[in-house]
Structure 1
Amino acid sequence: MTPEKLRRIYGDVSPHAAAKAISHFDKHCRQFIEHSTFLVLATSDGANLDVSPKGDPAGFVKIENEKTLLIPDRPGNNRIDGLLNILAHPKVAICFMIPSVTETLRVNGIAEISDNPNLCDEFKVNGRSPKTVLRVTAEEIFTHCGKAPMRAGLWRPETWPTDRPIPSLYEMIQDHSKIEVASTEQSYAERRYRETLY
């Protein structure tokens, strides 16, 4: 496959799509980010790729200025794959989502990690500050049409499964890791979901 062949298969990009990328957060981007409760962060170490979900109440990502975003890193499993990638290769891509809105907002840029206590304290929730905050300087920003979420029924509850269609997280971890997960650990983990989100 070549770029030329792909272009023959798909045809020319529309003028609006070709021209829609900007490099600063205008009023529309700001409004989208202020209402977003979920994003997916893509990182790379230059050889391998990783994607990480991030979620919080609307407004959890702060717009520092017309070029930079601040994203708190909440407690997780401490693999920190994305953060380690950023140290090696700071280019990132972000996809912002708003529940019920089919369109998404995409941001490509350069990230750096800060553990400045004053900055981390700006993102305190329930008395707990994140250990680090990601500062992303935007290089390219653009809206993305809602066809994929519409096809997926992402925001249409009537299309959602009525019962969980997959095993519990800890059943899957046990099978993948080949390490026994006791039922007490599974109950503890479920409790931690409720008690240690922050």
Structure 2
Amino acid sequence: MSNLEITAASSADTFADTPFHSGERAVQQRVGVLEKMATRGQLIRSFMPDQHRDFFQQLPFMIVGSVDRRQQPWASIVTGAPGFVTSPDAGHLAIHAPLLPADPLQQTLVEHAAIGLLGIEPHTRRRNRMNGKVEKSDAAGWTLKVEQSFGNCPKYIQARRPSLVEDADAAAPVVHRSGQLDSAMQKLIAASDTFFIATAYFGKPVDESAVASTANNRQHGVDVSHRGGKPGFVRIDDEKTLTVPDFVGNFFFNTIGNLVEHPRAGLLFIDFVSGDLLYLAVSAELIWDGPEVAAFKGAERLLRFHVEQAIRVEASLPLRWSEAELSPALAPMGSWQA
């Protein structure tokens, strides 16, 4: 009931032209949308449309997913004045920004690394995704080659506006590392209405003998996504365990499908008042049904995370945020409180 094992979807020949890998298709099959989603693969492109290119270039921050040498995913954030991201052509993004102190990207951002990007503008509830590979990296920044580009709906995004703060004389942030959640980490999580999740896929292409396009070549990929809920929607079961409801989405099942194949994830929590960042490396399990799922109104399933590494960096993020306007999509959803 609570493990990630799931029967694989139909034959590779049937899905030779789909951008969805075996884990994503298996979950689509489980929930009854496999055939429907086979016709929606064209929504995932191997290039960025102009509106996506323009969108990325206007943002003051982006969320980044990467993996370390142990195949552990991490979720990170990069930030700068709008324009710190440029798009020289429809197949590339260039990021010109220093990495934040203690951010896992300090170790994972190397040439040819798989990267997932989420461009999100909370106050307009717009978001676009891009997954690709690092083509080059140096002191000036790094360039990504697009492999997959697609949009996301505005569901579950809390509307808050970021603004950059500059403090060139600020001391190096204090970094706290642990194998479990200390009281300050738990306090940050308990108040959160948003987090970001990075996952990875290490399988084979749909058809090794005839990979028709870059979008189908899913030998190795990273994805990073947004999760939103009412404050406290991430339940702290103990200092090593978190439980989160998974709401209905676009049926791509990028995150869930990756976890079926590789049950590890990276989580990023942001304190929108202080600028503290909390990076978590976790193992994951899915709870597909049962009384716990039924008890949370609106939950399609639950995600349970087991903390393996935790890094909290005080006042690391040079952004501050307006008060949040809760997503109207969350109004009918439940909470862990009675």
TM-score range, shorter chain: 0.5 to 0.7
* Distance in structure 1 (CA, Å) of the matches to 2:182 and 2:287: 25
Alignment of 1:103 with 2:259, yes or no, is: no
The residue identity in structure 1 corresponding to 2:290 is: P
Q: CA RMSD in A?
A: 2.7
User: Deviations along 1:150-182, whole A, 9 cap, x unmatched?
Assistant: 2xx44169xxxxxxxxxxxxxxxxxxxxxxxxx
Contact 2:195 2:267 in 1 (8 A): yes
Pick one of 115, 135, 144 that aligns with 2:304: 135
Q: Could you say which residue in structure 2 is the equivalent of 1:90?
A: 263
Q: Which secondary structure state, in structure 2, belongs to the residue aligned with residue 21 of structure 1?
A: strand
* Distance in structure 2 (CA, Å) of the matches to 1:122 and 1:140: 29
* Distance in structure 1 (CA, Å) of the matches to 2:301 and 2:272: 26
Question: Could you list the runs of 5+ residues in structure 1 that have no partner in the other structure?
Answer: 158-192
* Distance in structure 2 (CA, Å) of the matches to 1:196 and 1:59: 13
Question: Could you list the runs of 5+ residues in structure 2 that have no partner in the other structure?
Answer: 1-106, 111-138, 140-171, 203-219, 334-338
Q: Could you say which residue in structure 2 is the equivalent of 1:30?
A: 186
Q: What does residue range 111-150 of structure 1 map to in structure 2 within 5 Å?
A: 111-124=284-297, 129-148=298-317, 150=318
* Distance in structure 2 (CA, Å) of the matches to 1:103 and 1:87: 31
Q: Could you say which residue in structure 2 is the equivalent of 1:66?
A: 239
The verdict on how the C-alpha distance between 1:113 and 1:146 changes in structure 2, with shifts beyond 3 A counting, is same
Contact 2:278 2:310 in 1 (8 A): yes
Pick one of 155, 174, 182 that aligns with 2:321: 155
State the shift of 1:97 in Å: 2.0
Contact 1:37 1:99 in 2 (8 A): no
The residue identity in structure 2 corresponding to 1:44 is: A
The verdict on how the C-alpha distance between 1:196 and 1:135 changes in structure 2, with shifts beyond 3 A counting, is closer
Over 3 Å off, 4+ runs: 145-148, 193-198
Q: Which secondary structure state, in structure 1, belongs to the residue aligned with residue 273 of structure 2?
A: coil
User: Deviations along 1:18-45, whole A, 9 cap, x unmatched?
Assistant: xx31111221111111111110000001
Q: Which secondary structure state, in structure 2, belongs to the residue aligned with residue 64 of structure 1?
A: strand
The residue identity in structure 1 corresponding to 2:244 is: I
Alignment of 1:21 with 2:177, yes or no, is: yes
Higher helix share: 1
Contact 2:229 2:330 in 1 (8 A): no
The residue identity in structure 2 corresponding to 1:72 is: P
Q: Which secondary structure state, in structure 1, belongs to the residue aligned with residue 238 of structure 2?
A: coil
State the shift of 1:116 in Å: 2.6
Higher strand share: 2
State the shift of 1:146 in Å: 3.3
Pick one of 203, 222, 228 that aligns with 1:55: 228
